[in-house]
Structure 1
Amino acid sequence: MSPTPNNETQRSDSSSVFVHVDPPSATNSAHHLANPPSSLSSSPPHLKEEEHEDDALAGEIDAKLNLTQEQEQVVEVIHGTYQAAWQEILSSGGLKPMTRTHIHLAKGKFGQEGVISGMRKSANRLIFVDIKKAIKDGIRFELSSNGVVLTPGAEGSGLLEVKYFTRVEDQKGQIVWEPSGEKPSE
């Protein structure tokens, strides 16, 4: 790894997605995506409780930090939801911000080191998102000041399509859905 003129770290590993976090500046509190990551990997963290959901909204306004491929921290993003909502998400074609400005995702599973926010602890369906593919397709991702990964979804529709889902797990870590569309036995 070697530093670039912007104090970023270059890594040649093409099998990992990295998050580069630029500190917010007085003139620009939201940095936009610079480079799509070269691949998806994992280095989880998940989220805390409901109070962090409100903190995430404040984070959207406060300081948005862009996700790019330049950083030591590998991230696999996950959206936490519930079994009752999963079929609706699937039939609607993907995730939507609903009443919020952004779709909220976590950098890993709840309780993993470094994961403090991004989903409710009680979520029983974890949707794993291929951030590399989504960024390559032009979907913007930002990292709030409290660690929540945010995306407005596709421009125009606000949808983070099912085609970006790599798998869905239940609360026990059992795969309940894969892109083939076939549901493994629970």
Structure 2
Amino acid sequence: MDGSMVDWAIQVGETELSSVLPRRWAHSQGVARRAVDLGRILRSDSGLLAAAATLHDVGYAPRLAATGFHPLDGARFLRDAHSADRRLVRLVANHSFAVLEAEERGLRDVLEAEFPVLEDQRLVDALVYCDMTTTPDGRRTTAEERVTEIVGRYEADSVVGRFIRRAAPELLAAVERVKAALAAQPR
């Protein structure tokens, strides 16, 4: 695992989220802990996943919320303010099928033009797995419970409400692919 990238991600995430959005920071830390569990299937990319897991919600920081769409705002911040690793930035921009929410917000073309989806499906799925199996408070949960929690938190006709209903099958399928990869790997 690339410790320097992970250490940097923790520093950036803590600086941007811990005092202004402590619950979001707790979630991000929980997602990062889940990423450590996937080291055996990602091997050389485990540090990249841990960094992306730590920073996936950095765009929620009020000072970074230019568009109000946290994957895009976070990716732009990491790219522009930190010249972050391109794959890391693309993972943050596209985490948990963000392209579907971008479409709901009229930002799909912008997101895809600036931050094309990473072609490494293992990494994309791994970040989905980490995010969708972590509660807002950073505890472990099932993907089904997480989707239900998100649906319950937003109005059915809100942007996020529409997005999560559309994305749920893809989110759950990604989690199942990671579970299968974990099961196939010796401990």
**Category of TM-score, reference length = shorter chain:** under 0.3
TM-score normalised according to structure 1 size: 0.28
Q: Which has the higher strand share?
A: 1
TM-score normalised according to structure 2 size: 0.27
